[in-house]
Amino acid sequence: NVSRMPGKPFVPESPEGKQMVADLQLEQGAVGLLKWISTQSESGAALAKDLAKFPNLLSLIDTRLMEMPGEGRTWSSMNGRTQIDLNPALFWGDMNPQAVKVSLHELLHGLTKREIARPENASIKAELEDSRQRLAEQLPTNLRDLYNDAIRTKWLERYARDDSSANINQLGKTFADQEIVYGLLNSDEMISQNFSSEAFRNFARSKKGKDGQTFYNRFTNFVKSLFGLSAQGSTAFDEI
């Protein structure tokens, strides 16, 4: 989701930096990143265990630390693989909770974007888009106005290009509001926010579709369908 990739690869010079790189195991790609996530919390370990069931998908994702604007990004490289870039600033000091959140968000992008694009998943993609629009209609008036303005001005595309005209504060006055509006700007962001953002997750859990199902459960079941998991079976996706 990035058309221009400013930044440069992070090269550790200090012993602390070298240890951080060793701990992350990013030379193993998504598998290494999952291993690190699994050491950070019980929920991270449970989700990593579920995602580890898809080695073929994980093997197509490369990961690296990049000194760059923003915290993370996921994009498709020219060789057909998926690249996840993470800002090393995330992993210094007491930033681990945010580092886990951003890493998980980008990893879910890497896993789901490719699957959603597959022709055989066209119906799931259409249902996801319909649900996104229906949930956006349930935003409070002030956030719906900000959402509509972001869609009209192609805010997400500008933000992905690191365009200075797109500022996260344009999506809401509070961090929670920004997380919710951001997650509704397209289906890819919605899926990742559903699992990585508590604010978005709580909003999706508080709203129901015409069938009485919460949008959180609806999105979770869509993702499980993408990965061939039973909608009735309990997984870490259901317990986040």
Look up tokens 């951001």; give the residue.
182
Sheet of strand 72-76: strand arrangement = 8-9, 61-67, 82-86, 72-76
* pLDDT in single tens digits along all 240 residues of the chain: 344 467 899 999 999 999 999 999 999 999 999 999 888 888 778 878 888 888 888 999 999 999 998 899 998 877 889 999 999 999 987 657 889 889 988 998 888 888 888 899 899 899 999 999 999 999 999 999 999 999 999 999 998 887 889 999 999 999 999 999 999 999 999 988 888 889 999 999 999 988 899 999 898 888 888 877 755 555 555 555
- Please tell me the chain's helix, strand, coil percentages from 3-state DSSP, rounded to the nearest 5: 60, 10, 30
Query: Kind of pairing, strands 72-76 and 61-67?
Result: unpaired
Say if residues 231 and 224 touch (Cβ distance below 8 Å): yes
Kindly report the pTM of this predicted structure: 0.80
Q: What is the pLDDT of residue 168?
A: 94
Q: What is the pLDDT of residue 33?
A: 92
Q: Is 19 helix (H, G, I), strand (E, B) or coil?
A: helix
Distance CA 232, CA 13 (A): 49
